[in-house]
Amino acid sequence: MEQLSLLQLVFCAIVVMVAFAVRGGAGFGGGAIAVPLLALVFPLPVTVPVVTVLNMLSSIGHGFTDWRNIVWREIRRILPGSLLGVFVGIYLLTLFDPQPLARALGVFVVFYALYVMVFAGRTPQIAQRWMLPVAALTSFAAGIVGSLFGGAAGPLYVIYLNAARLGKDAFRVTITTVMLFQGLTRIAGYATLGLYDRHTLLLLAVALPVMIAGSWLGAKVVRRFDTVIFNRAVAAVLMISGAALILK
């Protein structure tokens, strides 16, 4: 890994801080922001394992705080498809070169940003008879996307969990718990692929205190923001980072 300049280090610290402030406030979105922006500096096989561990540790912190609000019924619906998707995604990760994969992430992020700008936190209504198929489809897709890109799985879970009409606190801790289970599985898979080398672990150690500070900031500040304005601001950041990845 090439030695980073001071400007690159500051950029990475800001990215991690902002990403986990968003995650601390919303319960998801940390990876969707962190991975495409950090991938402008680091190769995707370095970025993905690091952000996955940070996401998992963040999930543990939120889970301990609000565990009484977890809706286990929704976890049971989501988890099987999610874990199956993780295994498929890790297998696919071994088939693709990092550069085309980074561009594919850029395309995905741009389309997701457009989706957020259009709906701005609102999700289409889903009839009750379709809830289980939607849970299976979105969780399977989220497992694949999360394994391949190290983030952006959370927004797919949101499609289903918003339709399930969970309260704000229940929504946040339930999606965090799902991401914890998914993260543990992905970390085991990445370790099997040998992605946690000395450079990756060093980067993780440096990023950890910044992640903790960002999570605290999110819990104290970001939760107070207007949801529509907040989502559109996040979408604008994702649009820029996705376009930068495509053109890199």
Per-residue pLDDT tens digits for 97-141:
777 777 887 787 788 778 777 765 555 566 677 778 888 888 898
CB 197 within 8 A of CB 46: no
How many CA atoms, within 13 angstroms, populate the side-chain half-sphere of residue 29? 30
Q: How many residues does the chain have?
A: 248
Q: What is the pLDDT of residue 132?
A: 82
Q: Does the pLDDT at position 61 exceed 70?
A: no
Q: Does the pLDDT at position 147 exceed 80?
A: yes
- CA angle, 123 as apex, 180 and 76 as ends, to 5°? 35
Range of the domain at 151: 6-247
Residue 46 in any domain: the answer is yes
Q: What is the pLDDT of residue 88?
A: 92
Backbone dihedral angles phi then psi of residue 147, each to the nearest 5 degrees: -70, -40
Q: Which residue has the tokens 């559109």?
A: 232
Number of domains in the chain: 1
Residue 184 in any domain: the answer is yes
Residue 1 in any domain: the answer is no
Q: Does the pLDDT at position 1 exceed 60?
A: no
- Helix, strand, or coil here: 103? helix
Q: Does the pLDDT at position 84 exceed 90?
A: yes
Helix (H) or strand (E) holding 41: none
Q: What is the pLDDT of residue 210?
A: 92
What is the rounded average pLDDT of the residues 25-51?
A: 80
What is the rounded average pLDDT of the residues 233-238?
A: 74
How many CA atoms, within 13 angstroms, populate the side-chain half-sphere of residue 165? 5
**CA R_g for the chain:** 17
Q: Does the pLDDT at position 151 exceed 70?
A: no
What pTM was estimated for this model as a whole? 0.76
The 10s digit of each residue's pLDDT in 153-209 is 776 787 777 777 777 777 777 887 888 888 889 999 999 988 898 888 888 988 999
CB 47 within 8 A of CB 207: no
Residue 234 in any domain: the answer is yes
Of 158 and 71, which is predicted with more confidence?
71
